[in-house]
Chain A
Amino acid sequence: MVEQTTVLQQTEAQPKSPAGAASSSLRHESAHLHVAGDARYVDDVPLPQGAVHVALGLSSRAHARITHMGLDAVRAYPGVVCVLTAQDIPGHNQVSPVGAGDEPLLAEDTVFFCGQPLFAVVAQTRHAARHAAVLAQVEYEDLPAILNIEQARAQGSPLVCRSLEMTRGDAPHALAQAPHRLAGQLAVGGQEHFYLEGQAALAWPGEDGEIRICSSTQHPTETQHMVAHILGRPNNLVTVEVRRMGGGFGGKETQANIAACLAALAAERTGKPAKLRMDRDDDMLVTGKRHDFVIDYDVGFNAQGHVLGVDMQLAARCGWSADLSGPVTDRAMFHADNAYYYPDVRLRSIPLRTNTQSNTAFRGFGGPQGAAAAERIMEEIAFATGLDPLDVRLRNVYGTTDRNVTPYHMTVEDSIAGEIMTQLAADCDYRKRREQIRVFNRTSPHLRRGIALTPVKFGISFTATHFNQAGALVHVYTDGSVQVNHGGTEMGQGLHTKMVQIAMREFGLSKERVRITATTTGKVPNTSATAASSGADLNGMAVLAAVRTIKDRLVAFAADKWHVAPEQIRFTADGVVVGAEVIPFATLVNAAYMARISLSSTGFYKTPKISWDGATGRGRPFYYFAYGAACAEVLVDLLTGENRIERVDILHDAGQSLNPDIDIGQIEGGFVQGAGWLTMEELFWDTAGRLRTHAPSTYKIPACSDRPRIFNVKLLENAPNREETIFRSKAVGEPPFVHGLAVLHAISDALASLNDYRTCPGLNAPATPEQILRVAERLRQQGGETNAQVHA
């Protein structure tokens, strides 16, 4: 069997030269565990003796005063240990990640959304806890509920956080002077993360008030702070550990705190280890999702399709509390230009408070919604001018020496979106296929094809400048084996694999000699969330710094011991070259130990060059941009609105990739997730504010057959990052998500055939079969009017 399976193995790059190791396609460090069921997630950790289980009791009203919380039946259920309410919280009943003070962990006297946690049942089994939780008799006095953007605007609902405005030039003047002007509205839906592993945490009480938590969190430090805050203890008593998550996508950046805090509270109250793993339905009812937006745009342009001025208002459903809605709606504005230059521009965010789940981070963090508006504008101009949408896009793409300042006054120094689009269009034969599709559509009554090519330009860095820091801790043991630890978390994106590769490359070691360990606040403190695509950029540099500190010590030691110049010492796969000699790494390390050289080091990194002033809407929030383009071809059934993706070609910029296979995996996966968001994934609340799509039976993420039938993904070659990132790579987590927009626009292109391509279909997202059929009916009936009104 061993012999047989080697036939299967690809030649995994095991380069002799360590220089290759960091850019080779090493397999995921846990792949062999994943496939065997041996990779442990929170719920797989063997439970300590006497462990208790926690289940949630949820609000059934969208907005109401609690007049009576009848918990006797819950307490009386066999196996129940205790029931915890807001009164049981010894510290502060607040988990707002931005300190807004608007997010109690457990409801106090008022509930603000349907699904809000009211109480937590602690029982001897998970089964008992779940069965007991549904026995509560809660009485409410309903209050007026605001459920969506339309209601919030109509009723003047307060904002959940401050609005941001970005202006450059004089947009009203430019619009007034423009030869052509269009105004319209785009609605883009939200999205459930649907990480396959639901929210989970396991807490162990220790001595003297210590508490250790195994959490499925993207942000161990924040989870640590929240638990300390809830329990009223200093941070140094709380340790949060994460080996891996079964997916995160932003949904475990702040939302993981709920499970961790309640498990910690249960552990604190009972003195026993306590676990909370949410049932999928509870998870979807309780936690926030991607923000849905309604974006009003007003654009001035000329007959050649050049944008002259843009005025845009981006209204978002934020849910009941601020959570991360401020930075999310900010980022929608940072990407409301996508890859295009707006000569005069005014953008404004409207973050609306609603009585729904508190929307939160989700891959792209508002950016994809903003980019969707930019692409709609390009599409509108194309239909208004009769130009190919690709030509409109190319005419408006950022320049390299001029037309290169963003609405937030940052100069785009490395604009390559235009080149990528041009290259992709040639590679995938866009123009010829577009003509063929038009011919096909003329004679096909019910099935129509469509094609679109869209770019992405994605700003890399946390817009909150202080988050752009990272730490690492590297230990070399006397047998020459290495342990790497850093502040980032592994959620499937391959971050740990890349970190191992950096240590392998620097020390000249094989992967067997480098061990990555669970992320823990006890090893690397004060970390940032693994988010904003920044995991490898930040932590990679921190790991590199730690490794180089140790290498510098080893070099100094070896130079002294063997009397060679430091420049003559190199770490290679064959061992450490010291002058004419090659010394095994372990030998060198052991000798250094005997000479009392420290073999352990921290590493630290902070991103240079960046700054951002939200008050003025100016700065350089991003260290650099990641680019790419996608071309999608779809087939639409006009009898039912059903559709499928026939072919997708993507050319994406990952700089000098740290691991091409992992990066391609991020692009393929990000694309499908983005396409799902814009097509089949639909969140549906009823008129009482109850989320009716709270399980995979009703909320449909793409399945296997939804992937493009032909799917070509390429990394841009010979494109090292112009900035000094880790080995000149570029972040790759979020940018490919935006490629899903090509699908929305391809569907729109197919629909436009109904009107002989005369009017912009104005297709909103998600483009479900129903939405598509509605637009088809409108195009057929109205015969030429568009969603946008021409102002003259």
Chain B
Amino acid sequence: MRHHISFYVGDTLHHLSDLPPELTLLDWLRDQQGRTGTKEGCNEGDCGACTVLVGRLEQGQLVWRAVNACIHLMWMLDGAQLLTVEDIRGPDGALHPVQQAMVDEHGSQCGFCTPGFVMSMVALSTRANLAELEGTLDGERVINEALAGNLCRCTGYAPIVRAMKKAALYCARNGEPIGARTAEITARLRQLHDGQTVELTSREGRVTLPASANALATAYAADPAAVLVAGGTDVGLWVTKRLRRLPHIIAVRSAQDLHQCGLRPDGALWIGAAVTYSEAMPLLVAHLPAAEDTLRRIGSTQVRNAATVCGNIGNASPIGDGPPIFMAAGAELHLRCAQERRVVPLEDFFLDYGKQDIRPGEFIEGVLVPPLAQGSVCGVYKVSKRFDQDISAVMGAFVLRMGADGTIQDARLAYGGMAGIPRRASGAEAAMRGQPATQATLYAAQAAVKEDFTPLSDMRASAWYRTTVAANLLARLFEPLMPGSPPAAQTLQNWQEVAHG
């Protein structure tokens, strides 16, 4: 058992023991370290002005992830290498290529969002070889995705994108300076990993960072009143906005064996409780290709870098985007309390708004997503006011199992934003089951889905809009199934490709 956390900021090794559980990385940087380059814009992980880079070993490889410091709790840094905007200049003070390109391309106006943009751009330049994607739609998509979590109110983004492309070309030719330090940083991070459970205590409370699932199970069973925190992208707001006190936090991501993510022999995808969306992304996209666009629009890059797939399920938000996808795919949740384990179909886990089938001391160990049946038709549609980094007004995830004769043998139609919990549309499913994919079946299902839900009206959308769109998304699902139709539904993203075959 260790009683402190250890991490690097720049080249300085820090050991901290007396740490309020709710202290955020941003407050620590600005108030205690005088590192004011990292800005507070919203204090809820939406604007990206506080973006910093966290380097960790993932499967032994150093990976840099951009995260929002405002909702990153300080204890999460155990074993990490942190870089803030103050750390990315060369030893001689020369600007990083991203910084220089931002200067040259007039990428800053008021400059307040700029450090956050710079850090997201550096993160991208450490991973993607954008130079190869130059001039392609994919190149644009990769940049949009990397910057979706950074808001700028002055520039309209065009000069920032120009700077990103310019910096990428430069890094492709000359190397990226942070990447050049990989061996050195990898070596020193290895030394920080001792496989121990950490217990931090302070006047304000305590934090347990269990080293394994067993240790987590024991700690949680001993104190079911503790708050489990994985990525903290939800709990962070309890702290910064609702001003909640969290006297005992039990970490999830410190448990090494909860980081497992991979295909089982039967083809089902296992995602452990500690796996972030970003880590799971390649496997998830391969597993559920139709969900790719939506998966890439969950939160933002910074949010997906911290947020776990299971946390997105566990917090049971009625508007979470993950649950409808996994529900449509027929996922099951693996729960554990002390040494006792049980498996629950995902749709049975959500009971009512704010109420889940979970007992005191019980936690999610992982989610198992079965493979789609051969010949399945799958459509996943996220509808929000803004394309990127917005909460869905309506989220629809649909899987149809088609018979050889073209009839719909089974339909799993899961919606978010339509009720107090993510839920399947049982009436619409019944209207499709056993029917051919015709206009008549579509109309029947559309009529039924309007009866399946009584959604709320709020600032995101009215009940009318939600109901109308819920029905219209079924039309989108059916579009390629109708005779004489293009092979894919036309959307705002793919319309040119579909039109031109």
Is the CB–CB distance between B112 and A246 below 8 Å? yes
The residue from A36, A38, A704, A768 contacting B143, defined by CB atoms under 8 A apart = A704
Q: Which of A38, A682, A692 has the most CB of B within 10 A?
A: A38
Contacts of B148 in A (CB 8 A): 703-705
Does A184 count as interface, using CB distance less than 8 angstroms? no
Number of A-B contacts (CB under 8 A): 287
Task: Check A43–B40 contact: CB distance below 8 A.
Answer: yes
What residues of B have a CB within 8 angstroms of the CB of A25 in the complex? 106
Q: Which residues of chain B from 433 to 489 have any CB-CB distance to chain A below 8 Å in the complex?
A: 458-462, 464-465, 468-469, 472-473, 475-476, 479, 489
- Which of B38, B153, B387 touches A642 (beta carbons < 8 Å)? B387
Residues of chain B from 255 to 273 with CB closer than 8 A to chain A in the complex: none
* Chain B residues, CB < 8 A from A705: 144, 148, 387-388
A9 to B101, CA, bound (A): 7
The answer to whether A280 and B154 touch (CB under 8 A), given A9-B100, A704-B143, is no
CB-based contact B39/A196 at 8 Å: yes
A245 pairs with B110, CB closer than 8 A? yes
Select from chain A the residue with minimum beta-carbon distance to B164. A704
In the complex, whether B276 has a CB less than 8 A from a CB of chain A is no
What residues on B are CB-neighbors of A8 within 8 Å?
A: 97, 100-101, 104, 166-167, 170
Q: What chain B residues lie within 8 Å of A33 (beta carbons)?
A: 111
Partner of A701, one of B104, B151, B241, B475: B151
CB-defined interface of B381-423 with A at 8 Å, one 1/0 digit per residue?
1010111111101000000000000000000000000000000
- Chain A residues whose C-beta falls within 8 Å of the C-beta of B140 in the assembled complex: 709
Counting CB contacts under 8 A, is B134 at the interface? no
B174 within 8 A of A: yes
Closest beta carbon of chain A to B156's beta carbon, Å = 3
Hey, which chain B residues are within 8 Å of A698, CB to CB? 391, 459-460
**Which of A35, A43, A671, A773 sits near B156, CB closer than 8 Å?**
A671
Q: How far is the CA of A32 from the CA of B95 in the complex (A)?
A: 8
**B103, A680: Cβ atoms closer than 8 Å:** no
State the Cβ distance, B301 to closest chain A Cβ, in Å: 11
At the interface, yes or no: A44 with Cβ under 8 Å from chain B? Answer: yes
In the complex, which residues of chain A have a beta carbon less than 8 angstroms from the beta carbon of B161? 704, 707
Q: Contacts A692-B458, A704-B144, A706-B386: A493 and B109 contacting too (C-beta < 8 A)? A: yes
> Closest chain B residue to A444 by CB distance?
B490
A635 touches B243 (CB 8 A): no
CB distance from A363 to the nearest CB of B (A): 10
In the complex, the chain B residue whose C-beta lies closest to that of A25 is B106
What 1/0 flags go to A480-492 for Cβ under 8 Å of B?
0000000000011
**Chain A, interface residues (CB within 8 Å), range:** 35 or more
A433 contacts the other chain (Cβ, under 8 Å)?
Answer: no
- Which has the most chain A C-beta neighbours within 10 Å: B97, B118, B151? B151
| Chain B interface SS verdict (over half) | loop
Given contacts A44-B36, A493-B109, A697-B44, contact A682 B459 (CB under 8 A): yes
Interface hits, B226-253 → A, CB 8 Å: 241, 243
A553 interfacial contact with B, CB 8 Å: no
Per DSSP, are chain A's interface residues mostly helix, strand or loop, or mixed? loop
A175 to B373: give the CA distance in the assembly, Å.
68
Flag whether A647 is at the interface (Cβ < 8 A).
no
Q: Which of A38, A197, A247, A668 interacts with B158 by CB under 8 Å? A: A668
A42 to chain B, nearest CB (A): 11
Contact call A41/B100, Cβ cutoff below 8 A: no
Give the CA-CA distance A98 to B118 in the complex, in Å: 41
Output the least CB separation between A114 and chain B (Å).
15
Asked if B102 lies at the interface with its beta carbon under 8 angstroms from chain A, I say: yes
Interface string of A103-115 (1 = CB under 8 A from B): 0000000000000
Which residues of chain B have C-beta atoms less than 8 A from A2's C-beta? 90, 92, 94
CB distance from B409 to the nearest CB of A (A): 26
Contact A644 B461 (CB under 8 A): no
Q: Which residues of B contact A194 (CB under 8 A)?
A: 151, 153
Q: Which residues of A contact B282 (CB under 8 A)?
A: none
Is A684 located at the chain interface by the 8 A CB criterion? yes
Q: How far is the CB of B152 from chain A (nearest CB, A)?
A: 7
In the bound complex, do residue A9 and residue B104 qualify as a contact, i.e. CB atoms below 8 Å apart?
yes
Determine whether A643 belongs to the interface, using a CB cutoff of 8 Å to chain B: yes
A477 to B156, CA, bound (A): 39
Is A144 an interface residue, CB under 8 A from the partner? Answer: no
Given contacts A280-B42, A665-B155, A665-B159, contact A773 B389 (CB under 8 A): no
Pick 13 A–B contacts, CB within 8 A, sort by A.
A1-B90, A34-B108, A36-B86, A130-B243, A194-B151, A196-B153, A247-B110, A248-B110, A492-B111, A493-B109, A680-B385, A695-B241, A703-B151
Give me the 4 closest cross-chain CB pairs, A-B, nearest first: A37-B37, A492-B110, A246-B112, A34-B111
* Given A5-B95, A35-B95, A662-B106, 13 more pairs with CB closer than 8 A: A9-B100, A25-B106, A27-B106, A36-B95, A39-B111, A43-B36, A193-B153, A196-B49, A196-B151, A492-B111, A702-B386, A706-B157, A707-B157
